[in-house]
Amino acid sequence: MSGNSFIRTFESYFVNLSEDYHVHSKYNDHSASDLTIENVVKQAENLNLVTIAFTEHVRTTSSWIKEYLQEIDAISKNTAIKIIAGFEAKILADGSIDCPDFCAKNYFIVASFHTLYHKKDIWLNALHKVIKNPYVDVIGHLAPEPTFQIEAQEIEELGALMSKYGKVVEINAKYHRPAVNWINTFVQQEVRMHLGSDAHCLNEVGRFSNVMDLVSLVKERRI
Ligand SMILES: [Zn+2]
Ligand SMILES: [Zn+2]
């Protein structure tokens, strides 16, 4: 599945509590050892989820990608759940993403800030560039760094750019992001949003109880 086909098949502006678009696995070096692809799918089946996206942390140097994709492909054929193969890629200071080209071009991509750049102009420029990247599907756990603030007008500009380039903003359960005022702005601008648990252990898969306040903002504005 390419990033673009994911966007084209996106059906709803409403977040769906039975869809989890941000799940990790033991392929990274800091998740629970029982967070296997197989166990995640079993957990998702037990929770009656309809869609999950595996979004493992990737780098251009990652060596496990082939095995990871093969395992996801094999298990996708043996479950009723819609399984999306993807990656979470770090946004670099120049606005590029730390991700091999073939992953970016062919799989579901969540782009996230994982490094503090300490300068608002670097952060904003990188974000603008990543929103314009045709291979990025989702902006993950979006929030400015603690040392600077993003003004209301700048949030509106970001939302307009997200809409123009068809990006999805993730409501992230692990970090409780984005902030309420960001979500309210994005809802008014009809920016697409969905849910990501950012699960790093099994009992976090599909768990959105701590972002129900944010979910209600999206639903209330849409009805
Ligand atoms: Zn992340
Ligand atoms: Zn993550």
Task: Give the mean pLDDT of the chain.
Answer: 92
111 CA from centroid of ligand 1 (Å):
8
Q: Average pLDDT of 118-142?
A: 98
Q: What pLDDT does residue 13 have?
A: 54
Is residue 15 within 8 Å of residue 22, measured between CB atoms? no
Tokens for 78?
């043996």
8 CA from centroid of ligand 2 (Å):
23
218 CA from centroid of ligand 2 (Å):
22
Instruction: Show the DSSP H helices in 82-179 as ranges.
Output: 101-106, 120-132, 152-164
139 CA from centroid of ligand 2 (Å):
11
Per cent of the chain over pLDDT 70 is 92
* Domain annotation for the chain: domains and CATH numbers: 16-222 (3.20.20.140)
In tens, the pLDDT along 52-102 reads: 999 999 999 999 999 999 999 999 999 999 999 999 999 999 999 999 999
| Pairing between β-strand 168-172 and β-strand 192-196 as defined by DSSP bridges | parallel
**Can you spell out the DSSP letters for 153-164?**
HHHHHHHHHHHH
Ranking 2-11, 114-123, 211-220 by mean pLDDT, the lowest is 2-11
Distance CA 109, CA 101 (A): 11
Beta bridge partners of 89: 58, 111
Length reported for the chain: 223
Residue type, 173: A
What count of other Cβ atoms lies within 10 Å of the Cβ of residue 180?
A: 11
Instruction: With cut-offs at 50, 70 and 90, classify the pLDDT of residue 4.
Output: very low
Q: What pLDDT does residue 3 have?
A: 44
**Using alpha carbons only, what angle is made at residue 206 by residues 33 and 79, rounded to the nearest 5 degrees?**
80
Please check the confidence at residue 46 and state whether its pLDDT lies above 50: yes
Instruction: With cut-offs at 50, 70 and 90, classify the pLDDT of residue 8.
Output: very low
**Can you spell out the DSSP letters for 11-51?**
--SS--TTEEEEE--TTSSSS-TT--HHHHHHHHHHTT-SE
61 CA from centroid of ligand 2 (Å):
18
* Burial class (CB within 10 angstroms; exposed 0-12, middle 13-18, buried 19+) of 126: buried
Spatial strand order in the sheet of 138-139: 19-23, 51-58, 82-90, 108-112, 138-139, 168-172, 192-196
Ligand having the closest approach to the CA of 23 = 2
In tens, the pLDDT along 135-160 reads: 999 999 999 999 999 999 999 999 99
143 CA from centroid of ligand 1 (Å):
11
Ligand having the closest approach to the CA of 24 = 2
Ramachandran angles phi, psi of 197, nearest 5°: -75, -25
